[in-house]
Amino acid sequence: MFNEANRAICEWLTASGTPGFAFSMVYAFVIGACFGSFATACIWRIPRGISIIKPRSKCPRCGHMITAIENIPLLSWLILKGKCSGCGLPISSKYFKTEFVMAILFTAVAAIRFYYRVPIMVIPAWIMIWIAVSSARTDLEKLIIPDKFTYTAMIFAVIYSFCFPAFTAFPGDGIRNIVLLYTILSGVATAIFGTAIVVSGKLIFGKDAFGWGDVKYMIAVAMFFNVLGMMFILAAACIFSLIWFVVDRIRRGKFRKYFPFGPFLALATIVWCILTIQKNGEIYWFWF
Ligand SMILES: [Zn+2]
């Protein structure tokens, strides 16, 4: 029943032509900006243990309550010229940048999936891009990838496999029970694999070389993009971090003792979502 949604969107796309495609992309950009705005709230609140629903957003300096008109993604920051309307002190450009990056990435992955006639597959890509960007920022700022991010992604992976088994990374030609089994087994296999990395890292280096947050992130990745996708993303993240490690060594003149791995996992996830579509156990690559 849910699988029909993809065909319905494709039929609408064919009927509406280029204007329909353009409209979809504007829509994806707006959705991305809104989810980016929600991400900025989660990035600030979740690591600090603050509810993401209850207290309204306020200026952390003067306590000025953010009104609805001051809460429009991207636009409000520009209209307010990056200043709090209560105390006039600058609001970090990180809010604007996160919303903008999320909007651009949501549009990019949507364009590819709409073009290749798998519009429903924007859902896993959007979820993982949201988790990737948000985790990168909490890991950079607080050295954690919150469980709330990764567990939410895992739950969505199971729900998505149930609703759209024909549009997942897993083999089984859309047979729901097989796809569901693959989704869960991919998570379990990655949990075992990740635990082995954490334990061996601890034995070799005598400290936490690889965090549990990273493992949970990889489990979420495997439940959306299967074990092969997870291995690719992990390998790419290792390569990215190695390049950064060397560049950082040259710039600073000494090696860094510790650095968060989350941003590199996030970058690898984004690259994967932009370069590939995975459907029924097959990986389709495309290059621009
Ligand atoms: Zn203020």
CA distances from 92 to 96, 180, 219 (A): 8, 42, 32
Interval between CA 185 and ligand 1 midpoint (Å): 49
The residues, any chain, with a CB within 8 Å of residue 112's CB and separated by 6 or more, are: 274, 277, 286
Interval between CA 66 and ligand 1 midpoint (Å): 9
Pair 178, 166: CB distance under 8 Å: no
**Amino acid letter, residue 266:** A
Token look-up 């650095």 returns 259
Interval between CA 130 and ligand 1 midpoint (Å): 28
CA distance 161 to 185: 13
Residue 172 phi/psi, 5-degree rounding, is 125, 5
pLDDT for res 288:
54
Residues with CB under 5 A from ligand 1 (ion): 59, 61-62, 64, 84, 86-87
92-119 pLDDT, tens per residue?
899 999 999 999 999 999 999 999 999 9
SS3 assignment for 56-110:
CCECCCCCCECCHHHHCCCHHHHHCCCECCCCCCECCHHHHHHHHHHHHHHHHHH
Interval between CA 78 and ligand 1 midpoint (Å): 16
How many domains does the chain fold into? 1
Token look-up 């690559």 returns 285
Interval between CA 82 and ligand 1 midpoint (Å): 11
Interval between CA 71 and ligand 1 midpoint (Å): 14
Helix or strand run (H / E) with residue 285: strand 282-285
Q: What is the mean pLDDT of the chain?
A: 92
Domain hosting 77: range is: 4-285
How far is CA 249 from its chain centroid? 28
Interval between CA 96 and ligand 1 midpoint (Å): 17
- 210-231 mean pLDDT: 96
Structure tokens at 262: 């989350």
Interval between CA 144 and ligand 1 midpoint (Å): 27
| Torsion angle of the four alpha carbons 117, 121, 122, 125, in this order, in degrees rounded to the nearest 10 | -140
Interval between CA 40 and ligand 1 midpoint (Å): 17
Strand-pair partners of 83: 90
Runs of H (alpha helix) within the chain: 4-45, 75-79, 93-115, 122-142, 147-163, 176-205, 212-252, 262-275
**Does pTM surpass 0.85?**
yes
245-274 pLDDT, tens per residue?
999 999 988 888 888 999 999 999 999 999
Checking if the pLDDT of 38 tops 90, the result is: yes
Interval between CA 102 and ligand 1 midpoint (Å): 25
The DSSP code for 197 is H
Residue 284 phi/psi, 5-degree rounding, is -105, 120
156-210 pLDDT, tens per residue?
999 999 999 999 999 988 899 999 999 999 999 999 999 999 999 888 887 777 8
